[in-house]
Amino acid sequence: MGADEKSMIIIGAGFAGLATGIYARLNGYKTEIYEMHNLPGGLCTSWKRNGYTFDACIHWLVGSSPESNYNSIWQETGVAQGREFFYADEYCRAEGADGRTVIFHADIDRLEKQLLELAPQDKEPVMDFIRGIKMCSAFDFPSDREPLFTRIRKQIGTFLTFMRYGGEFRRWTNITGEQFASRFNDPLLRQAFREIWIPEFSMVFLLFTFAYLAKRNAGYPIGGSKPMSEALEKRYRDLGGVIHYNKRVARILTDEGRATGIRLVDGTEVSAARVVSAADGHATLFEMLDGKFLDAGIIEQYDSWPVFHSLLFVSLGINRKFDDVPKSVSGLSFPLKEPVMIADKLRDRLPVHIYNQDPTMAPEGKTAVTVMLESDYSYWKQLAEDRSVYVQKKEETAWQIIRLLEQRFPGIAGQVEVTDVATPLTFERYTGNWKGSFEGWLITPKNAYTMMKPMSQTVPGLKNFYMCGQWVEPGGGLPTSIMSARRLMKKICGEDGIRFSVNH
Ligand SMILES: Cc1cc2nc3c(=O)[nH]c(=O)nc-3n(C[C@H](O)[C@H](O)[C@H](O)COP(=O)(O)OP(=O)(O)OC[C@H]3O[C@@H](n4cnc5c(N)ncnc54)[C@H](O)[C@@H]3O)c2cc1C
């Protein structure tokens, strides 16, 4: 592309890479994105099989409400325009073996009422949870995207909210999902809280999720993930950005402590004044940069921070409707008649998401259904040493899950038209994410400080090189990837003495 001073190579066309391209183009940079896959979106994707669409990403999009200050990032990047959102009354439900069901309502009052009715003896943790959601609802963070006076008003408001809730906020940050669940005496509630959130993940994020759901600011976009990725790509191209698909970057080229370009796996070299990696963090640092630009902090992070676990993701096309199943953000779970090994883990419950909230995901009268289970990367990696064993295990697992679904939805086995199984290796193959992780770093009590002090987007000893996306933004997620790109481009504009702009 020629290394003039405003040239920039971006590695990866996921949300972070595309957004970097958009904000860079809006500020006059000459950009080229190199993406190893043949599609935009990275993890934010879906695929079609015989008329069904199986979605591997979006459950809720924070900032869907036009009143939210996050909404402007979706406007700026072209995702919000023309998009219709669905707001479910419930986040999910957990059915018990004793006939009771815990419904995690989006409405806070209904949620409180239902949890207290189910387990009056657990009033103390229930009310703590409800107060925590209300605390998070009180935060209205300022953003530089708002007019000055609104920003100042919100800055003062946020300061006062922190003064009031600072201690509580820290307490919730330091409690993991597992620790909170253990406070319940009622076994069904304990189980429900255990499975609703990742055990090591800080509870404060669950509280924020419920606060956003209650404010109808975390909607599900009709059409799912892929149309959003395509909208980002269109915005980028409309601004004159260039994307090269099926181009995997092997190396980031450096010379005397400066990034100078990239080398693709086919040997082609391209130079630019700046290189941004919006691809997997581990591959960027340890492969593309050969482990040469690290410090003790980065090493410790990759040695010890937990990542979002990898997934076994089974999708089914079912020739029936499920009008009796309430529409929800993330589905329901039910107890199995007896514990059973599914792939590498013994499971006594099965989660299932009936996609009846989005009619575009299946032909008329039919339904897309997904089952998302935690499953170890190493288990599948080992199986894949013999391709036929791996393929056979995938097939067996799909039918095992269908038979288990019979326990909750009798007759379903006879209505299956399509099966599709993605393993941690599938996620790795299509997106390059380390250990097949689906959202990067978990926020745990140990690294919660990153919420206040963001991670660095540069690496020690290397100029003109930057990182953005979920591997430098613990907690991950789509809004975070966009904000990561925005933060980065503000920094780069600052380096060049350019006033950052979001207007074309
Ligand atoms: C099952 C699931 C559910 C989710 N649910 C939600 C949700 O409800 N709400 C939400 O906000 N988020 C959700 N997420 C998380 C969200 O999808 C991710 O956090 C986000 O998409 C990460 O974007 P990214 O651009 O940082 O990374 P990625 O999407 O991983 O993009 C990285 C890109 O870099 C490319 N790449 C990698 N290596 C190379 C290379 N060497 N050369 C060239 N290109 C390369 C990849 O192909 C990819 O396109 C979910 C994710 C999954 C999988």
**d(C-alpha 299, C-alpha 321), whole Å:** 50
| Whether the predicted pLDDT of 231 surpasses 80 | yes
Find the 456 Cα to ligand 1 centroid distance in Å: 19
Looking at ligand 1, which residue's alpha carbon is closest to its atom 49? Answer: 42
Domain spans, the chain? 7-45+224-306+440-495, 105-215, 311-431
Residues whose CB falls within 8 Å of the CB of residue 376, separated by 6 or more in sequence, listed in order: 309, 310, 344, 345, 424
Does residue 2 surpass a pLDDT of 70?
Answer: no
Residue 339 has pLDDT above 80, yes or no: yes
Q: Which residue has the higher pLDDT, 326 or 504?
A: 326
Q: Alpha helices of 407-446 — where are they, by DSSP H?
A: 424-431
pLDDT at residue 213, rounded to an integer: 97
Residue 360 has pLDDT above 80, yes or no: yes
Residue whose CA lies nearest to ligand 1 atom number 26:
469
- Residue 318: its pLDDT value, please? 98
CB 21 within 8 A of CB 231: no
Give the model's pLDDT for residue 316: 98
Asked if 32 contacts 57 with a C-beta cutoff of 8 angstroms, the reply is: no
Fold (CATH) for 7-45+224-306+440-495: FAD/NAD(P)-binding domain (3.50.50)
Rounded distance from Cα 16 to ligand 1 centre (Å): 8
4 has pLDDT over 70: yes
- As given in the structure block, the two tokens for residue 489 are 């481009």
Chain segment 440-488, per-residue pLDDT in tens: 999 888 888 777 788 999 999 999 999 999 999 999 999 999 999 999 9
What digits encode the pLDDT tens for the residues 108-152? 999 999 999 999 999 999 999 999 999 999 877 767 766 777 777
- Closest ligand 1 atom to residue 15 Cα is 25
What are the strands, taking DSSP E only, across 236-395? 242-244, 249-255, 258-264, 269-271, 274-277, 311-318, 332-342, 345-354, 367-374
Look at residue 22 in the predicted model and tell me its pLDDT.
98
Distance 485 CA to ligand 1 centre (A): 13
Is it the case that residue 159 has pLDDT exceeding 90?
A: no
Residues 256-280 have pLDDT tens digits of: 999 999 999 999 999 999 999 999 9
Closest C-alpha to ligand 1, atom 41: 249
In tens, the pLDDT along 82-102 reads: 999 999 999 999 999 999 999
Per-residue pLDDT, 169: 86
DSSP 286: I
